[in-house]
Structure 1
Amino acid sequence: MLGRKERDQLELFMTGSLRQLVPDDHVLARVDRVLDLSWLRSEVSELYCETTGRPGIDPEVAVRLMLAGFLLGIVHDRRLMREAQVNLAIRWFVGYGLHEALPDHSSLTRIRQRWGAHCFRRIFERTVQACMSAKVAKGEIVHVDASLIRADVSWESLAVRHVDAVAEANADGATVERDSRKTGKHKKVCVTDPDASMATNGRNRRLEPAYKQHAVVDDVFGVVIDVEVTTGEVNEGQVVLERIDAAADTTGVPIQTVTADAGYAYAKVYGGLERRKFVAVIPAKAEPNRSPVPLRRFRYDARHDILKCPRGKILRPTRPVKHGRFFYSRAADCKGCDLAALCLSKGRVNKAVVVGGDYPALLRARRRREQWTDEDRRLYQRHRWRSEGYHGEAKTWHGLARAVRRGLQNMRIQAFLTASAVNLKRLAAALSAALLLPAGLRKSVLEQLLSLGTRMSQVRLAAG
């Protein structure tokens, strides 16, 4: 018999909770089991006046709205609030009934401005600590990588920096030294978002206004234990040691092994990791052949701090430069050398070589690369899908492929919320997996995971 459904909805009252309409395997239902924001109110209370003004939005509601957007890939405030108006799962997740009016989208903007990026970093760090407490992350083996994020600007907003014209106008007739490599004569800048800088992730790709996200990912379940955003032109090697130290401070666990790709293969990185007693699984790059007699043919004696050329003559250190020191030979030693025609630059009578500050660490890394064990290769393979996999997931599913708002601080807030959403997904997935374990093992695992939401449940019961 062919059925018929009356479309007129005449119900005046509903009994039960919106939770009954949300499937148990919905991402918001799964995240709600492990999300604890009971600490947030006291954290931001000093940013509000206790006696005057209208009551603001509950801090937990604001964060839940933002997290719901990033979990569902709805990162723009206007679109998020339009979706929340009709989405029962979002309404239940933030605690709003069908009859309640949702906050305006502009309220989320003002909250971000009032709280600042440091508060959202605190929210991110709480998710890391929750994963550590539940044994979802260990913090001993970490994978480091960086990825460019396209800025929220158009190509029409780019302008060429007229350095020469400005310098001549301010020189009052004085001679102006022009050096395009130092002044950035032909460099493009973004007028609408000055914090974004031109960068590219490939030699065959054009420069684009972008930011750069630096992430440290745990090896066990891919939990993000540190994330930071800089302008696009910042080199990865400049911030990697700082980010690793920050990750160790967040987890409270000493790091043992660090993996990264060849973009981090710098002497200062190897030296910094050695001083911290970390094992570096980073493939060392071969020295470029820029000279007929390259630096690798000069033997460095760390004990006496000297270099020996291919013919055994000694080069001694003199003046320091930005990333190392100059080593010079004596003109008398080079005068009768059979390699002088190839080794010496035009017009010079002695050899000058720049050696980086941590050059011995780079030499040790190159030797170690030739002796990588099967475990080292396995870790490096895991790096490619742990760290790079996080960036791909964040860009594909959580809106990190492009900046949502302009400015470095807004970009940092977006990165913190994205990493928080990913960590909560990891934690919720671990809880779901624990439910499938045998009864004897399930109890101990669930006790650790469910204890994370104990305070949150107590607060809800007291409020309800």
Structure 2
Amino acid sequence: MLGRKDRDQLELFMTGSIRQLVPDDHVLARVDRVLDLGWLRDEVADLYCADNGRPGIDPEVAVRLMLAGFLLGIVHDRRLMREAQVNLAIRWFAGYGLHEALPDHSSLTRIRQRWGAEGFRRIFERTVQACVAARIAKGEVVHVDASLIRADVSWESLAIRHMDAITEANGDEASASPPDPGKEQRRRLSKKTGRFKKVCVTDPDASMATNGRNRRLEPSYKQHAVVDDVVGVVLDVEVTTGEVNEGEQLLSRLDAAAQTTGAAVETVTADAGYAYAKIFGGLERRGIHGVSPTKAEPIRSPVPMRRFRYDALHDVLKCPRGKTLKPGRPVKHGRFFTSRARDCRGCDLARLCLSKGRVNKAVVLGDDYPALLRARRRRERWSEEDRLLYQRHRWRSEGFHGEAKTWHGLARAVRRGLANMRIQAFLTAAAINLKRLAAALLVLLRLWALQNHAQNRPVASLTT
């Protein structure tokens, strides 16, 4: 017969815990088994007055609320607290009963401001150390990559930086030559003058950047992450403005990851965006094996740079015809190498090799150019293990960025400012590490249950 459910809920008392209503396979229930925040109270005690003022929110409760939001993909404080009002799992995870009032969403904002980004970095580092202690992360083989995060600003907040107006107002007293109207017009229309560069007036820390030449510039931040090779534990994460080159952060991020894990990095994989001479030189000085495809040399001249041979022992550069180019004045990240005019005067390649109006050849060689040459030779002799390791780079490092953006709200900044963006990145990485740790614990519990079941099985059943 057709059933009927009485919707009047007249219960006055409930016995038991809210935990009984939360499924065991719920993400918050699984993370609760591995989350340890007993150290946090002493860590932030110096930020509060010991004997004056209104009692604040328990630090562990605040972090649990924030982690619950990032684990469930609810990254905005207002929405999180509205969801916590009716979500039994969030109430239980944070330690609130059904009759207790939840804190206001503004309290979480004040806590972030009080603790600062470094306070949340320590929370993230604790999750890394817990994963290392559980042996699901070693820190020996790592993958490095960067990803852009859209800033929390609108297109209407962008403004064009008027460099021409500033120049005209201040004048150019250093120029003694008469102005050239044609040259001035070309300069105004050039994209390199900064006249067309846009800045964000509501979030100055965000800068215009893009991850492809065929895509438009957007106000963005850039997240740099170091991911372990074993199960994808995030060992280090840092956020910069969007226009910072990822190669400038790689070596410092590797050093930070080694300091957190207590293990020296032995092998690192990175994409071609990191294939610079200074990167390979820094890896060699640290004794790290780099697995990264080197960039193809851009051909800007009929006689490209690869036709020149560098002798590191004598520190000289030889042209395709065997003439010597000696080192000259230093420049940023390199030095000039120049040839003699008499050597180029009778050369049959002078018409193609020399620039218009020059009588000798001058090239710039990077400081770690020999390391780049060695990396190119290693790339041609990659072993099968190196190729498999670079394949894992995609679904380890790039997979982390995709997971963080798809499931944990990192596709767009929640709040404005570099400090707030760093806090968001630290909490997202901590939530993902806790998921990895909870999954590893679940596997161990299942193996333990299977072993006990096999040992306690009756003899008769084993013989059948």
Q: TM-score, normalised by structure 2?
A: 0.93
Residue type at the aligned position of 2:369? Y
Q: Kindly indicate whether residue 233 of structure 2 is the aligned counterpart of residue 219 of structure 1.
A: no
2:280 aligned to 242, 251, 270, which one? 270
Partner residue in 2 for 1:149: 149
Within-5 A mapping of 1:11-30: 11-30=11-30
Q: CA deviation at 1:173?
A: 6.0
AA aligned to 2:289 is V
Counterpart in the other structure of 2:140: 140
**Alpha-carbon distance, 1:184 to partner:** 2.1
Quote the residue 2:298 is aligned against. Answer: 288
1:204 corresponds to which residue?
Answer: 214
What's the CA shift for 1:80?
0.2
Deviation at 1:183, TM superposition (A): 5.1
Deviates more, 1:95-104 or 1:182-191: 182-191
SS at match of 2:226: strand
Write out aligned runs for 1:46-445 (5 A). Answer: 46-171=46-171, 175=175, 184-438=194-448
Counterpart Cα distance in 1 of 2:173 and 2:282: 47
Helix, strand or coil at the partner of 1:216: strand
Secondary structure at the counterpart of residue 15 of structure 1? coil
- Number of residue equivalences: 443
- Residues 45/225 of structure 1: CA separation in 2 closer, same or farther (3 Å cut): same
Distance (Å, rounded) in 1 between the aligned partners of 2:12 and 2:451: 48
In structure 2, relative to structure 1, the CA distance for the partners of 1:167 and 1:218 (3 Å cut) is: same
Shift of 1:154: 0.5
Q: Per the alignment, do residues 183 and 43 of structure 1 end up closer, same or farther by CA in structure 2, a change over 3 Å counting? A: farther
SS in 2 for 1:211: strand
Change (3 A) 1:170 1:149: same
Q: CA deviation at 1:171?
A: 3.8
Q: 1:167 offset after TM fit, Å? A: 2.8
CA deviation after TM superposition for structure 1 residue 185, in Å: 2.5
Q: How many angstroms does 1:164 deviate by?
A: 2.1
Query: Offset of 1:166 from its aligned partner?
Result: 1.4
Say which is worse superposed, 1-10 or 132-141, in terms of deviation.
1-10
For residue 436 of structure 1, give the secondary structure of its aligned residue in structure 2.
helix
Inter-partner Cα distance in structure 2 for 1:278 and 1:441:
40
CA distance in 2, matches of 1:184, 1:431: 54
The CA deviation at 1:169 is 1.9
Residue 449 of structure 1: aligned partner: none
Separation (CA, whole Å) in 1 of partners of 2:166 and 2:441? 61
State the shift of 1:390 in Å.
0.2
SS for the counterpart of 1:129 is helix
Q: Which segment drifts farther, 171-180 or 398-407?
A: 171-180
Deviation by residue 1:335-386 (Cα, 9 ceiling, x = unmatched)? 0000000000000000000000100000000011000000000000000110
Q: Which residue of 2 is the match for residue 3 of structure 1?
A: 3
CA distance in 2, matches of 1:440, 1:141: 31
Fraction of identical pairs, as percent? 82
Return the offset for 1:51: 1.3
In 2, Cα distance between equivalents of 1:49 and 1:106: 20
Question: Residue 447 of structure 2: SS of its match in structure 1?
Answer: coil
RMSD of aligned residue pairs (Cα, Å): 1.7
> Structure 1 residues 124-133 or 282-291, which shifts more?
282-291
Give me the whole-angstrom Cα distance separating, in 1, the residues matched to 2:194 and 2:33.
52
Q: Which consecutive residues of structure 1, in runs of 5 or more, have no partner in the other structure?
A: 443-464
Instruction: After superposition, give the CA deviation of every residue in 1:184-238 in whole Å (9 maximum; x if it has no partner).
Output: 2221100100000000000100000000000000000100000000000000101
- Determine the C-alpha separation between the residues in 1 that align with 2:364 and 2:245: 21
**Partners of 1:172 and 1:290 in 2: how far apart?**
34
Q: CA separation in 2, counterparts of 1:429 and 1:350? A: 65
Give the equivalent residue in structure 1 for 2:457.
none
Quote the residue 1:460 is aligned against.
none
Structure 1 counterpart SS, 2:136: coil
Q: CA separation in 2, counterparts of 1:384 and 1:347?
A: 48
Shift in CA distance, 250/441, structure 1 to aligned 2, threshold 3 Å = farther
Q: What's the counterpart of residue 455 of structure 1?
A: none
After superposing the two structures, state which structure 1 stretch, 179-188 or 29-38, moved more: 179-188
Amino acid at match of 1:249: Q
Q: Which amino acid aligns with 1:235?
A: N
Report the AA paired with residue 262 of structure 1: A
- Deviation string 1:35-90 (CA, Å, 9 cap, x unpaired) is 00000001111111111110000000000000000000000000000000000000
In 1, the alpha carbon distance for the partners of 2:242 and 2:193 equals 18
> How many angstroms apart in 1 are the aligned matches of 2:436 and 2:160?
44
